[in-house]
């Protein structure tokens, strides 16, 4: 994904500071910038987003660089009712300001997914099953959330080819995009390059992607299972066993709501069974420590 860049003048206006301050931050390494052929600085959006997240610097004109005005002061759990209401109503800008505000204020992708986005989307799904939320409202809520997560993706930089590669995918009949994107963003935030193989893939197609690209990590997110009782056996026969033979260096982790709700324990089949994004983050930290 191309990285958005801005001139020091644009960044200065957005943050409400002088242009000379921005240039000093670039020269000192606090902001990352590239240079044009003519020698002009271009500040990278991921660097600006990281700077705001880490310092809490106010943003005077967020619209200039695609940020939001301010964060939500309450705990994540306190925002669930509000996000649920805004998503069901289809108020995209309010949802954007809420979620991006939390992220801009320093919340991690893992905490956003585990404590806000996941619980709210599950509640909307329960409402759809109960008949209190219309199908179009549930689908629209997912699309709104995907648009928001796409914005966060623009704030992250994974262009370093030296980063280890991870592949993320969901199995057949599982077309949930939001959980997959949350896993992707968690991995990028933890220092990985990510190749999204796609959603709703047969296990043999996930295997083909892993064998072709030989990632250090294969993450399978499972939000829906047609036959939970058969899944472990199919996973072993169609993915894990042939992957061990053809790409033994690839670690496999699996998680997702369908695994937990079905009470499946397949930790003996894969390298790690992870019940949440928080556990994924901890696992990635352990891998980094070993490396």
Contact of 68 with 97, CB cutoff 8 Å: yes
Res. 162: pLDDT tops 70? yes
pLDDT-based confidence at residue 290 (cuts at 50, 70, 90): low
Name, in order, each residue with C-beta under 8 angstroms of 228's C-beta and a sequence gap of 6 or more.
258, 262, 264
Question: Do 190 and 120 have their domain in common?
Answer: no
pLDDT-based confidence at residue 77 (cuts at 50, 70, 90): confident
How large is the average pLDDT for residues 267-281? 92
pLDDT score at 107: 94
**Span 202-244, pLDDT tens digits:** 999 999 999 999 999 999 999 988 888 889 899 999 999 999 9
Question: Do 173 and 282 have their domain in common?
Answer: yes
**Span 94-117, pLDDT tens digits:** 999 999 999 999 999 999 999 999
pLDDT score at 267: 77
Question: Do 223 and 263 have their domain in common?
Answer: yes
Q: Is 172 left (phi over 0), alpha (psi -120 to 50) or beta?
A: beta
Total structural domains within the chain: 3
Domain assignment present for residue 35? The answer is yes
How large is the average pLDDT for residues 11-17? 96
Question: Do 122 and 198 have their domain in common?
Answer: no
Tokens of 36: 């044009």
Domain assignment present for residue 160? The answer is no
pLDDT score at 291: 56
Domain assignment present for residue 189? The answer is yes
Question: Do 205 and 281 have their domain in common?
Answer: yes
How large is the average pLDDT for residues 28-33? 93
Tokens of 246: 């053809």
- The CATH number of the domain where 128 resides is what? 1.10.1240.10
Question: Do 279 and 190 have their domain in common?
Answer: yes
Tokens of 243: 């992957």
Of 155, 182, 197, the domain-final residue: 155
What is the percentage of the chain residues whose pLDDT exceeds 70?
98
pLDDT-based confidence at residue 38 (cuts at 50, 70, 90): confident
pLDDT score at 259: 86
Domain assignment present for residue 41? The answer is yes
- Using DSSP's 3-state secondary structure scheme, residue 192 falls into coil
Res. 73: pLDDT tops 70? no
Question: Do 146 and 185 have their domain in common?
Answer: no
Res. 54: pLDDT tops 90? yes
Question: Do 169 and 275 have their domain in common?
Answer: yes
Q: What is the average pLDDT value for the chain, to the nearest integer?
A: 93
How large is the average pLDDT for residues 113-122? 97
Q: Which domain holds residue 57?
A: 5-64
Domain assignment present for residue 69? The answer is no
Of 20, 41, 64, the domain-final residue: 64
- The CATH number of the domain where 268 resides is what? 3.40.50.280
- Using DSSP's 3-state secondary structure scheme, residue 184 falls into helix
Domain assignment present for residue 226? The answer is yes
- The CATH number of the domain where 31 resides is what? 1.10.1660.10
How large is the average pLDDT for residues 78-89? 96
Domain assignment present for residue 144? The answer is yes
How large is the average pLDDT for residues 119-129? 96
Question: Do 182 and 140 have their domain in common?
Answer: no
Question: Do 266 and 173 have their domain in common?
Answer: yes
Contact of 44 with 81, CB cutoff 8 Å: no
Of 44, 64, 84, the domain-final residue: 64
pLDDT score at 71: 62
Question: Do 55 and 80 have their domain in common?
Answer: no
């Amino acid at each position: 994904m191309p990285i958005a860049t801005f001139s020091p003048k644009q960044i200065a206006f957005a943050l409400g500071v002088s242009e000379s301050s921005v240039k000093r931050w670039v020269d000192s390494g606090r902001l990352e910038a590239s240079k044009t052929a003519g020698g002009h600085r271009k500040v990278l959006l991921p660097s600006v987003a990281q700077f705001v997240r880490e310092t809490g610097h106010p943003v005077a004109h967020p619209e200039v660089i695609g940020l939001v005005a301010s964060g939500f002061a309450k705990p994540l759990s306190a925002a669930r009712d509000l996000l649920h209401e805004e998503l069901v109503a289809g108020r995209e800008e309010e949802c954007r300001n809420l979620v991006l505000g939390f992220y801009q204020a320093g919340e991690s992708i893992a905490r956003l997914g585990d404590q806000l986005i996941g619980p709210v989307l599950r509640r909307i799904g329960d409402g759809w099953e109960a008949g209190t939320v219309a199908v179009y409202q549930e689908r629209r809520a997912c699309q709104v959330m995907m648009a928001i997560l796409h914005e966060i993706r623009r704030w992250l930089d994974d262009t370093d080819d030296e980063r280890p590669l991870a592949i993320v995918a969901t199995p057949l009949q599982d077309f949930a995009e939001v959980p997959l994107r949350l896993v992707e963003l968690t991995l990028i935030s933890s220092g990985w390059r990510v190749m999204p193989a796609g959603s709703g893939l047969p296990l043999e197609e996930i295997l083909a992607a892993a064998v072709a690209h030989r990632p250090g990590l294969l993450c399978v997110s499972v939000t829906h299972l047609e036959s939970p009782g058969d899944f472990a056996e199919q996973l072993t026969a169609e993915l894990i066993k042939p992957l061990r033979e053809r790409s033994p260096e690839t670690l496999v982790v699996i998680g997702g709501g369908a695994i937990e709700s079905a009470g499946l324990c397949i930790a003996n089949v894969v390298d790690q069974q992870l019940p949440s994004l928080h556990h994924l983050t901890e696992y990635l930290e352990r891998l980094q420590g070993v490396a």
